Amino acid sequence: MSRVWAIVSRRSFTRYQSRFRAPRTVVGRLALLSAGALLIAGCGPHGEAQVTSQSDTGAVHVASASTPDPSWAEPAPGPLRKSILTPDFLIVGEKTLSRSARSKVREIDGVRAAMPISVASVAVGERSITVGGVDAADYRRFTATQTAKMDEVWQSVAGGEAAITHQIGRDLRRPLGGSIDLRTANEQHKLRIGAYATTVPRIDAVVNERRAQQLGMKRHNAIVVSAGKSGVDSVEKELEQLLGKRGDVQRLAENPPSTGERHAAYLTGGAVAQAVGSFKYKYFADGTVEPASQWVHANIRTETVPLLGRVTCHRVMLPQLRNALTEIVDRELADRIDSGDYGGCYVPRFIGRDPQRGLSLHTWGIAVDLNVAGNQRGTEGEIDREVVAIFKKWGFAWGGDWDYTDPMHFELAALVS
């Protein structure tokens, strides 16, 4: 598709749109930015038609329209008709926050608006990303200006697609219009990437509420709060007093957040997530993470297992890791694992030690890296496939099955007796 440049006004764009009604699947989506704005339509990665909008608040890239899957589609939102709000706080709880709690949040002096959403950490690749399950029509008001104004972003989300940040897209090497694989328990859910866009800070990906339910996310366990330009400090204190232990109040003025702050991590994914538990954490300038000591003491253990010797992992994973390694020894495959090339299990940190790139699953202590040198990311890997089969039998997912492979990586995906 050739690149097209045009200066348009609202009125001329309306005439243009009514005159040329080419199929949306062929020409992609067009977006009106504002009177006298620059409209850029062209080809994105892998020939994907897209619309690009860019301003001081950042770029927005939208894939060409696709046919929504009726299983996951919700009614498409109409044009934005309400004022755009600044997201000042994100409240995240382990459980659903009651209607009463949400009403009390709205009643706090200085709160302009508060919207319930669903938030959880979802496994993708060797990391977790923070996913928000939202009502597209309402949530858009809290996002960056260009994102809020672009109807195509929210039509895509309502249709069952995902809007993700540019950083996550780069990390996962996923093109616009491609797919992102989200894991829950031992299931893979493939979602089309409908947009790259800045939404609310600390939310890496946005999906509609039906998709959130599919991913096993706790419904409405979070609230986005706008407090306006004044009284943010007093609002924060009142929110903390109101929520207590029911929710973690995260201030969104800084992105990334300051080191030393406490934040919540709630992993989704059925029985494994429930068994692993959730925790609050703080992090440091070097990108390492310190989960709450109460969670660590209750869940992280150092024990001896065959072949690897002393390892530190989550207590739920250790029996299955021990059984997998025992079977490998019993089947005379011990020489296929290099005990000196073990990459660790419980290593609490961000991916690349960058707080904008999501928590590594090693932070939960539910993943091990084996034979690191010969099994680098993006390769088929040299690890013996009989070893892989044994690990899968004992409830582990293998990184070699992912689109962007990580063949050294095995993670707990199912509980096996």
pLDDT of residue 260: 56
Distance CA 299, CA 3 (A): 55
- Bridging pattern class, strands 4-8 and 37-43: antiparallel
Residue 276: which pLDDT band, with cuts at 50, 70 and 90? confident
pLDDT at 48: 52
Domain(s) of CATH 3.30.1380: residues in the chain: 286-412
CA distance 337 to 327: 13
Instruction: Indicate the pairing of strand 162-164 with strand 187-196.
Output: parallel
Asked if the model's pLDDT at residue 121 lies above 70, the reply is yes
**Tens digits of residue pLDDT in 327-359:** 999 999 999 999 999 999 999 998 888 877 778
Interatomic CA distance for residues 35 and 394, integer angstroms: 60
Cβ-contact 44, 61 below 8 angstroms:
yes
**pLDDT tens digits, 191-216:** 999 999 988 988 999 999 999 999 88
pLDDT band at 35 (very low <50, low <70, confident <90, very high): very low
Looking at per-residue confidence, does 231 or 22 come out higher?
A: 231
Q: Is 305:325 a contact under the CB 8 Å cutoff?
A: yes
Residue count of the chain, please give it: 417
Residue 55, SS3? strand
For the record, the structure tokens of 330 come out as 């019993």
Q: Determine the Cα–Cα distance for residues 291 and 284; give it in Å rounded to an integer.
A: 12
DSSP per position, 324-344 = HHHHHHHTT-GGGS-GGG---
Per the CB < 8 A criterion, the answer to whether 346 and 362 are in contact is yes
- Kind and range of the H or E element at 107? helix 99-107
Whose CA is closest to 410, among 351, 377, 370?
370
- pLDDT surpasses 90 at 81: no
- In this prediction, residue 221 carries a pLDDT of 93
Q: Please say whether the structural domain 286-412 has been given the CATH code 3.30.1380.
A: yes
Tokens 């060797």 map to which residue?
126
- Asked whether residue 226 carries a pLDDT value surpassing 80, the answer given is yes
